[in-house]
Chains A and B, each alone.
Chain A
Amino acid sequence: MSEEWKSEGVIRRNDRYSKYVKAITPRTGMFTSMMKAFAIGGLTCLIGEGIGDIISLSFPDLSTDMVGAYTSMILVTVAILFTGLGFYDVIARHGGAGSFLPITGFANAMSSAALEFKSEGLIFGTSSKLFNVVGPVVVNGVVWSTLAGIIRYLIMLFTV
């Protein structure tokens, strides 16, 4: 490789350029984004609470855990339905973190990948790409909760 590429002059030029680009590039408004995420994320949770209340009123014998499980199942089903019908991404464009943090976001990520890669067949398409987007979430979920468990175990060991 020639020395000209990555010479000091080039590095200085690039620094100057990236500062300029940073200054001129429009950013998403932090406040509006947060408000929208709050509204859409909050609404999702509100609907979830509503579903939970309806279930526990209709079936008073169900335990709280079971009510929670049914609520999650309903929310996930609705999110997948919305993904298939093509408007989850429109909601998410506004909702941001408010729409991908709740369980509905996970459902959307998996079902959108399943839909997208259907064209390569059930094995090489859907099966192998199903965790394409959510893979990192699963891996990090397992790794960090294991770490948290170890820390909790150690603390318990020394305090009890």
Chain B
Amino acid sequence: MSGKNQTMFFNNNPRIISGMSVVGKREGEGPLGKYFDEVVLDAKCGEKTFEKGEQQMFHKVILGAIEKANLTPHDIEVLLAGDLLNQLVSSSYVARELPVSYLGLYNACSTMTECLALGASLVDGGRFNKIACATGSHFATAERQYRYPLEYGCQRPPYSQWTATAAGCSILSSDGDGPAITHATLGRVVDYGINDLNNMGAAMAPAALDTLLAVLTDTGMDVSDFDAIFTGDLGRLGAEILRDLAREQGIKLGQSYSDCGEMLFVREQNCYCGGSGAGCSAAVLNSFILRKMNEGEYNRVLLLATGALMSPTTSYQGETIPCVSHGVILENVL
């Protein structure tokens, strides 16, 4: 929290008029499996490489969301998209096949809420009225970029996380039905000096706290004003840390708080502390959260996606992990 106002208030109701999620096999077998629109069983989606497979998944999710909104790609004005790969290849290669303006965004795993915040402000300002926000990640492509070859036998500590093979896309517009984005809080980069690449949850939890405090101060709302609060991919350990950090600030995150990464897998799936990746919060938002909001079970939801902004190079050079979290408030309004 910076003492400055970090929150945008939207008065013209930019809404999520449709959402689509596509996930991999392991994610489909998890507890949220039945909420996802599509589960791809082949990690390469029938393509030759994992990178192409990720693009295929990305393509599917964007076209699917557009179709669900009863639109065609020609109706969409801007695509805001991001992924985890260097030079944002997945997003950009998919964008070359679409007749839309394109902004590639990178905030690691918090990219989805970054896209939503920017998309909502474009719609709210009346500049554009049909915007697609999409992010995705793929276990195999992230693994080769950030860690080791897939078949290399190495042990991971129990607190590490599993990059989710998942993608999600939301279509924003001020006409149509669906939950409105009422506020978006742009996070600051926070670094509490964690340098263990496997302990992303611990690195990102302070960023989530910082943005949570900013949301509460700027909007004057209280934790109890939300039906649910979700963080992006802190994992089981990170979520526990966030609860502790919040308690220290006098905020009790009770039953209404969950973490998308933690929800994605059960312990028996050998995914350590849970899922992570840019597609993690995107897929959960566009399946579980959106469905629960459309069914009326949730009326006001805070989504705080969190991202760790390091690269393997900076980590090997001994740098700590800077993290950021952007928050959006979704609300069922008339």
Contact = CB atoms under 8 A, between A and B. Distances in A.
Contacts, number: 92
Given A21-B199, A25-B202, A26-B159, A116 B237 contact: no
A133 B194 contact: no
A89 B202 CA distance: 27
Contacts of A108: 151-153
A155 to B, nearest CB: 37
Query: For chain B, which range describes its interface: under 10, 10 to 19, 20 to 34, or 35 or more residues?
Result: 20 to 34
A55 interface: no
Contacts of A17: 192-194, 206
Interface in A16-33: 17-18, 20-21, 24-28, 33
Nearest to A33: B155
Contacts of A14: 192-193
Interface of B: 48-51, 144, 148-159, 192-194, 199, 202, 206, 237, 240-241, 244, 270
Secondary structure dominating the interface of B: loop
A115 B149 contact: yes
A91 interface: yes
A84 B149 CA distance: 12
B153 A116 contact: no
B49 A27 contact: no
A105 B159 contact: no
A71 interface: no
A92 B241 contact: no
Secondary structure dominating the interface of A: helix
A117 B151 CA distance: 11
A88 B151 contact: yes
26 contacts: A17-B193, A17-B206, A20-B241, A21-B194, A24-B241, A24-B244, A25-B159, A25-B199, A28-B157, A33-B155, A84-B151, A89-B154, A92-B152, A92-B154, A93-B155, A96-B155, A105-B153, A113-B149, A115-B150, A115-B151, A116-B144, A116-B149, A116-B152, A117-B144, A132-B149, A133-B149
